[in-house]
Structure 1
Amino acid sequence: MLLLSLILHGVTFIFLFLLYQKLQENKERENVIEQKEKEIDELFHNYLVEIKEENQKFTEQINKMKKQQDKQRTQQQQSKESVIEKEDSTEFEEEPFFTKENFPDELDYEPLIPQEEHEPVYELTMESRVMHLYDQGYSADQIAKQLNVGVTEIELMIKIHTQLSN
């Protein structure tokens, strides 16, 4: 009876130990998942900050261009007004280039004939170009410089692609 009790206690302790190990493994998995979620959140946050900075630069450039265009318009209007004033002082009429007398009866017109058709050109997406360069061993900084894109955007694409492929 004592031997049976010891065996049952031993089996119970082994069972409890195995359950404890499973519980620890689950907690470790949860911690890894939370860590990956935080990394992805940080990547998205950095990406959004970079996009905001680029948008601000872009709006500043647009505003500068608008100011330049407004200056050009005012200059053009002023020059047109001066030309109109000069024309008013020297009034003359221009004759049309084609009149009934000099208009040709038949026009020398030949429609364009399409040349040989070429094979369609396929353009790679940004993601495929990034992953192709990444597979060739380029770093995220090098890829960003080569494609003229933000580093965080490249890191985000690589991170998401590697997570999806795993």
Structure 2
Amino acid sequence: MKKTISIIALVVALIGSWNYWQGDIKLKQGLTSREWQSTTIAYMNFWDQKIQHLDKASISSTVKYLPNQTYIKNSTLIFTSKDIEKPVEIIISESGNWELSDHYLIVDASEFKDISTTPITQITPEQVEKLKTLFKINAQQSRKIDVVNDRTLLLTSLAHGSTVLFSQ
């Protein structure tokens, strides 16, 4: 009787571990098979109250997760306000490493480059650096991945909010 229970427990453990590993493998294949896009709207009083003259940020990103566990992401950050005539636009190229663990996407951004083509004159250079720092901090979060369908993923951060990645 004890031998039968031990064998049943072993089979259940093997099936459970196989399902665990198989889930991450399938998710990894889906994540690396497409180029993903997202758009986020953030209100600056919520994001950081120390950046004066800016009310809202619109962040459009395109990211490609590569099978060698590196990624490349380009983001266009557009900051607007009733106090400035022309929106502030910053374009950031980001790259680094990623890994998947139990349906959590863990990103380690190693390089950020400002690839903006127009100079920013609406706010001070210190404010620009503060915005870039906030963007970098946000990029370093771990996020839980839920598959909505084969072209839509929901990323939920532990700190706040969710992001929908979609592919066309």
What is the TM-score when the length of structure 2 is the normalising length? Answer: 0.29
The structure with the greater share of residues assigned to helix is 1
Higher relative contact order (CA 8 A, sep 6+): 1
* Higher strand fraction (1 or 2): 2
Larger Rg: 1
